[in-house]
Chain A
Amino acid sequence: MTEDNAVKEVERETGSGTDLWSVIIAPFIWAAHFLVCYVGAAIYCQKLGRDADLGDIRLLVLGATAVALVGIGASTFRLWRVRGRSLTDNDFEYEHDTPEERHRFLSHVALMLCVLSAVAVIYVTIPMLYLSSCR
């Protein structure tokens, strides 16, 4: 890394705090949402029979989706700020040899995982919108 780049690196200090655990927050939210939806619906349909209307459980799933999206959104918001401050030189490679770069890299991965997780949460919710019974 040239000296010039090293100076820039310090100038665009974006903080720290994104470690491996926080990278997987969004997919973890997806997993929790998925389990709530599946387990909730499976128990509901098993206990109420195949003719039961999905009414109540639909509310649970939609509520869980709202909570999940808010959670992913909050995570995204924090990471978006890191992103905004880190794009001063159009550098998407994240290959410099500093803790700062490592933090920006993990934040970038986490940000993209937020997008993926949000898409997956919405995907999983869709069947609940057009199915009406436990059949």
Chain B
Amino acid sequence: MTDRQAEEQQLAAVWESPKGWRYWSDVNNTVVGLWYTATAFAFMLFGGVLALIIRTQLAVPENTLVEAETYNQVFTLHGTVMMFLFAVPIFEAVAILILPGMLGARDLPFPRLSAFGYWCFLIGGVFVCGSIFFNSAPDAGWFMYPPLSTEQSGIGADIWLLGLSFIEVASIAAAVELIVGVLKCRAPGMHINLTPLYGWYVLVVGGMILFAFPPLIAGDLLFELERLLDWPFFDVTRGGDPILWQHLFWIFGHPEVYIIFLPAIALLAMIVPTFAQRPIAGYSWIVLSALGTGFLSFGLWVHHMFTTGLPSISLGFFSAASEAVAIPTGIQIFAFISTVMLGSVVRSVPMLFCLGALAIFVLGGLTGVMVAVAPFDFQVHDSYFIVAHLHYTLIGGMLFPVMAGIVYYYPMVRGKTLSRKLGIWSFWLMFAGFNISFLPMHLTGMLGMPRRVFTYGAERGWSELNLLSTVGAFVFAAGFLILVWDCVRPRRQEPDAPRNVWKAGTLEWAARFGDNYGLRSIPHIDSRYPLWDDKDFTRKLDAGEGLLASAEEGKRETLVTSVLDAKPIQILRVAKPGWLPMIAAIGLGAVFIFMTFKWWIPTALGFALFLWATLRWLWTGTAEIPEKESKDAGGGLMLPLYVSGVRSSGWWAMFITMTGDFTAFLALLFGYFFFWTIHPDFPPPGVTGPGWVWPVMAGMAVMLSWGLTFASRLVNAAGHPGQARFLLVAGGIAALVACLAVLAGPWTSGLDPTTHSYPAIVWTLAIWVVAHLATGVLMQGYCFARSLHGKMTPRYDADIWNVTLYWHFAAIMGVVTCLVIGFFPMLT
């Protein structure tokens, strides 16, 4: 056996998936990505069945197929499933699956986090979907507007809320993973201007998730506090306001549309050049449009609230921004069209879906420009026109591109090609069925049919249009099922797909099917389409001439490179398969699920399990001290095996996570000031809490704890781990004092959170800070224990770097909260 064969066997052994039932403990991106994609499609089929029930019910007037109550559950769950269990997760799923290959990485930097995200998604999704079989599904519409949702009796709203909060955790986990992946795990030489466009889109979308999802988490928190403890955030009779929910929901909800759309259109940016047989036209324009859309999409949320009676100047701002976002969106469409026109197009099924996507999305975009105009929106608000518009954007902007992606990447993931004939049938049935179903809805809406009605009278004149829509929906479903069948049918007898079956130019097609480790060796990249530009590329790759061509220490390793120019800076050892991510997800799932039913003891047990699994996960396999300082990555390139601080991927993950967390805090703070704007007297007359004395003491204790933690890091680095441990203990005590002082303010001044929105929001901010301080104490204790066990030393100090970073954020939140609740009442 030659050395090369031995190296390949090492790699294969190190990256091999576990066998038998242990298969489910795998964490590798190719396996987790596949589960993720399959699960998202399973939920999609479930949502599709709900859609068919809706269409069947509406096929004829005065239909009695389902009761009004059931219908409410069906349409709520349809929207919820499609948005939260398909559209967003499919982005994470596909990105986890294909991104490492595209960047030339062996895996993403935090494989266990991907697996944790997946299990959260699965458990939360099954919980939310399963509720309909117990007649207790959410039934107030997928955006859950109070007061309808807060004051109805069933637990459907709680299931929606807690199930989705749980799934949001998965999204933020994926965002952390993917942002760090794109920035730090590109193959050497892949400068940021050579990065595949998919990577750019993932970067933008990851950033958007950090600013879009946290406001919803904050909203969920307020919502659940109202449902569970009767704190009146959205109850007008006690100083609340349902509009606050609408703001928080749509600050999330509108960027979310683009969070769904951008990664799907990113697939087009990979597929179109392959079949046009030329590089993408206007690479930099597409990057511009992704970034521009990412920003502008945050200035649109009020266009969902045009009819809530806000001042027309507010509507004007959002109307203008909604029109402006059409500019970057249009740019990327033109870039795709010009790529097609400049190239010589190979006819193929993925290309059919791409062109279908462009056609449908452009129509949806045009109606979007129409409804961005406030007076037009007043007319069609909550009508079937909106239903038509949103399905044109989502199906053209997300589903069709994803279908193109499925057909395109199937050979890479499964090693076989899908049937061309079935693909063409599927496309035309879906394309025709979609338009038959949704084009008439524009008219149905103009004729006055409101969305979400469970039936209608024959005299309304909507009957024919509705019947047509129903027929179209079934044609569409038939097309979809054909593709699903083609994906899942047994195909052992069929020949394997050849390597790089579509003759693409990007890196993900360089790998051989079945190699769990990805590329045989990590190549140096010097162009956007290395497989086209370097005819010798694959041979060099297979000969192991790149980096990390072996795994002699038996560890899973991937390369970390610099952000802009992708210079190799570290060999990162990533985790092997294990059950901890799944156990942590089960624990966290138990917390959310049992809380729904107010079973407090199982909730506490679930939390304990989650905590144990997380700590064990961190203790084993993060920031492990390597057996040697550095290692030859290949060709004499010596790279360190351990880095800490700002150069490490863990530090960036903490930074990104805390950015998201801080956004949630800002959303709560927004709630505080929102209540100030709507009340002439704030705090309400007769309320004096929480005073300034306790908040000032709390703020000082927070600063002290932060300072001690920071000092501990410096002292540790200076070579005094003993003193560093002492400082950590002192910091922990200061943080506990701060916790008590934060709570003492509202407690001693007798603020009752059930009486009015003011005490409720003050208590919420205080609890938010206490939760963060308590987590901070846990982290200080963790570093203390690591140091005591020799797992953290002056040289190997990644843990305390990351904990200090956490404390920077926690301290800012603590001090800002103390200043706001302590001093703002004096200013008013």
Which A residues form the contact surface with B (CB < 8 A)? 1, 19-20, 23-24, 27-28, 30-31, 34, 37-38, 41-43, 45-47, 50, 54, 57, 92-95, 97-99, 101-102, 105-106, 108-109, 112-113, 116-117, 119-120, 123-124, 126-128, 131, 134-135
Contact = CB atoms under 8 A, between A and B. Distances in A.
A45 B298 CA distance: 22
B192 A27 contact: no
A131 B564 contact: no
Contacts of A112: 284-285, 288
A116 B191 contact: no
Nearest to A134: B311
B311 A42 contact: yes
Interface string B188-206: 0101111000000000000
A30 B313 contact: no
**For the complex of A and B, 7 pairs with smallest distance between CB atoms:** A127-B316, A105-B193, A27-B295, A97-B526, A123-B320, A45-B311, A120-B324
A30 to B, nearest CB: 6
B295 A24 contact: yes
Contacts of A113: 288, 291-292
B178 to A, nearest CB: 15
B296 interface: yes
Given A45-B311, A131-B312, 20 more contacts: A20-B192, A27-B295, A27-B296, A30-B295, A34-B317, A46-B677, A47-B677, A50-B311, A57-B313, A92-B284, A95-B527, A97-B527, A101-B193, A105-B193, A108-B284, A109-B291, A120-B321, A120-B324, A123-B323, A127-B315
Contacts of B310: 42
B678 interface: yes
B654 to A, nearest CB: 18
A128 B315 CA distance: 11
Contact of B564 (A19, A27, A94): A19
Contact of B317 (A1, A31, A101, A127): A127
A36 to B, nearest CB: 11
22 contacts: A20-B192, A23-B291, A24-B291, A30-B299, A93-B283, A95-B194, A95-B527, A95-B528, A101-B193, A102-B192, A109-B291, A120-B299, A120-B324, A120-B327, A123-B324, A124-B320, A124-B324, A126-B316, A128-B313, A131-B316, A134-B313, A135-B312
Contacts of A119: 324, 327
Interface string B55-69: 000000000000000
B295 A20 contact: no
B13 interface: no
A83 to B, nearest CB: 12
Nearest to B565: A99
B196 to A, nearest CB: 12
Contact of B320 (A42, A94, A105, A127): A127
Please report whether the interface of chain A is mostly helix, strand, loop or mixed according to DSSP.
helix
B564 A116 contact: no
Given A31-B298, A108-B284, A120-B296, A42 B321 contact: no
B299 A95 contact: no
Contacts of B194: 95, 97
B790 to A, nearest CB: 38
A57 B314 CA distance: 12
B423 to A, nearest CB: 32
A1 B526 contact: yes
B291 A27 contact: yes
B73 interface: no
Nearest to A126: B320
Nearest to A19: B564
Q: Is the interface of B mostly helix, strand, loop or mixed?
A: helix
Task: Give chain B's interface residue range (CB within 8 Å of chain A).
Answer: 35 or more
Contacts of B189: 97
Contacts of B279: 93, 95
Nearest to A104: B193
A120 B321 CA distance: 7
B328 interface: yes
Interface in B520-544: 525-528
B299 A116 contact: no
A16 B327 CA distance: 29
A124 B321 contact: yes
Contact of A99 (B288, B323, B564, B678): B564
Contacts of B191: 97-99, 101-102
B123 interface: no
Contact of A94 (B193, B302, B312): B193
Interface in B488-545: 525-528
Nearest to A124: B320
Interface in B549-583: 563-565
A37 B317 contact: yes
B311 A123 contact: no
B393 interface: no
Interface string B382-406: 0000000000000000000000000
A20 to B, nearest CB: 7
Nearest to A27: B295
B319 interface: yes
B287 interface: yes
Nearest to A102: B191
Contacts of B315: 127
A123 B321 contact: yes
Nearest to B524: A97
A114 to B, nearest CB: 10
A65 to B, nearest CB: 12
A51 to B, nearest CB: 11
A46 B675 CA distance: 11
Given A46-B677, A119-B324, A38 B285 contact: no
Nearest to B294: A27
A23 B314 CA distance: 29
Contacts of B319: 127
A116 B191 CA distance: 25
Nearest to B296: A120
A108 B295 CA distance: 18
